[in-house]
Amino acid sequence: MPALRSHNAALVLDLLRGAGEAGISRIELAEGTGLTPQAVSKIVARLRAEGMAAEAGRRASTGGKPRTVLRLVPSAGYAVGLHLDRDELTAVLLDLAGTRVATHRAPLDLGAPAATVVAAAATQVEALLARAAPPGAGPHGSGGSAASRPPGTQRAEPPGRTAPVGPATASARHAPAGPATAPAAGSPGRTAPAGSAAGSHRRAVPAAPAAARTSGGAPAPAADLPAPAPPAPGAHPATPGGPAPWPRVLGAGVAMPGPLDHTRGVPHRVTGHPHWDGYPLRDALAARLGLPVVLDKDTNAAALGLALRGPGDSFAYLHLGTGLGAGLVLGGALHRGARTGAGEFGHQVLQLDGPVCGCGERGCVEVLCLAAVARGDVAEAARVLGTAAGNLVGLLDIDRVLLGGRVVAAAEEAFVRGVAEVVARRGPVPVAPAPGGPHTVAEGAAQLVLAPVFGRAPAAPAADPAG
């Protein structure tokens, strides 16, 4: 019965979220979910008691008294999304409506010892939460911190805007929104050397910004923080003496290059960084943050976030950055495979006896594509990527191809045009840049936590620091 109640509540929450600020009536909720009006009323009463739903006014009725309409309270819960790339970390905070309310970026060296990377990632998440914390809440639930904004305000980074980047510094630097700074991440804060184990073909990848940014860009208008709400269901209580931030944070979704085991929360031999093989990253980060944590591949997280915005079709998200991978959505559902092995797109072999790839094979799409970028031959890189994308289209009969990642962003028009020309030989399958810009993966990671709340994805295996 608890599972059924949770399922029914998720149906109601999803309709509340879809209705937006205009709200939706109980009768419409019953019609949309197929539940009885009595069941809807009980669920709504519980959601209101928990601070997740509120009245949005009254609407004229065709007969009888006006109907009360209800809306979701976005500030009732938040999720952290964390993208661990080979040389950069991006963290975002999304509210229940999926709106990004804070962003933080910092250099990262995924080749550093795993425990060092975990410590650095936790530090950056704590910095994100401290900057966005509501009045009276600090990173340890202690009533604020020196890094917090002035009471009652926060700065939200407008989508697509980034902070101006100055000279590289050893410490992470925040945007001009406030005077506080985040501490340096130590050795993980260094950009990976061009000639690292990932292979010489990685030299052409556009460098990540050297400085961290929280709520960056040109100074944006300060927005009032929502009034504090009761803890949302599933929110983890503060860990005594630990770094648990915000009682309203439901958890953290973490996305990183694969391969990895989504169910166990353990990376495998990450291309170029085999020392991650078998490391309990999900559990280690959960223990450090004091929050439930979900781990998935970066491409899967991005594809999930994109699927939640889309029409429920089949598509491939191809991410070309420090590496190359794919996230697959088939029939509107994210496809991971039985062992989270689906989407290892960059390591299909196109050229027998070709150059050695970081995975140990020869002639993989990844090594060929990034080698072309290294030579400045974007047209050839797009042709190689298009050939591999065409194979995917022919194999899975998908409806569209979306391109993302910093290499694509650096020459978006050329990549879209070049890939589309090759894919067109397979049929009329559109190719387009993925929406979301540099935050696509991090926002998708947050949706690993949020989507199950609304019944939009199965509950992901998560490490709970409470044991």
Confidence (pLDDT) at 166: 30
Are 346 and 325 in contact by the 8 Å Cβ rule? The answer is yes
Which H or E element spans position 300? helix 298-309
Q: Which residues pair with 270 in a beta bridge?
A: 273
What is the token pair recorded at 276? 């991650």
Amino acid at 252: A
CA 402 – CA 326 distance, rounded (Å)? 10
- For CA atoms 309, 314, 319, 320, give the dihedral sign: negative
Amino acid at 250: L
User: Do you find a cis peptide bond into 259, omega within 30 degrees of 0?
Assistant: yes
Residue 28, classified by CB atoms within 10 Å of its CB into exposed (0-12), middle (13-18) or buried (19+), is middle
Return per-residue pLDDT of the chain as tens, 467 residues.
344 458 999 999 999 999 999 999 999 999 999 999 999 999 999 999 999 999 988 887 666 778 899 999 999 999 999 999 999 999 999 999 999 999 999 999 999 999 999 999 999 999 999 888 765 554 433 333 333 332 232 333 333 333 322 323 333 333 333 333 333 333 333 333 333 333 333 334 444 433 333 433 333 332 222 333 333 333 444 444 444 445 589 999 999 999 999 999 999 999 889 999 999 999 999 999 999 999 999 999 999 999 998 888 999 999 999 999 999 999 999 999 988 888 889 999 999 999 999 888 999 999 999 999 999 999 999 999 999 999 999 999 999 999 999 999 999 999 999 999 999 999 999 999 999 899 999 999 999 999 999 999 888 777 777 66
The tokens 């950055």 sit on which residue? Answer: 321
What is the strand order of the sheet 315-320 is part of? 333-335, 324-330, 315-320, 400-404, 431-433
Radius of gyration of the chain (CA): 22
CA 152 – CA 170 distance, rounded (Å)? 31
CA 290 – CA 237 distance, rounded (Å)? 8
Q: Considering the entire predicted model, what is its pTM?
A: 0.77
Complete DSSP assignment for 233-288: TTPPPPPTTS----TTEEEEEEEESS-EETTTTEE--BTTBGGGTT--HHHHHHHH
CA 353 to mean position of chain CA atoms: 36
Amino acid at 352: L
Residue (of 394, 455, 463) closest to 3 by Cα position: 455
The tokens 């709400």 sit on which residue? Answer: 229
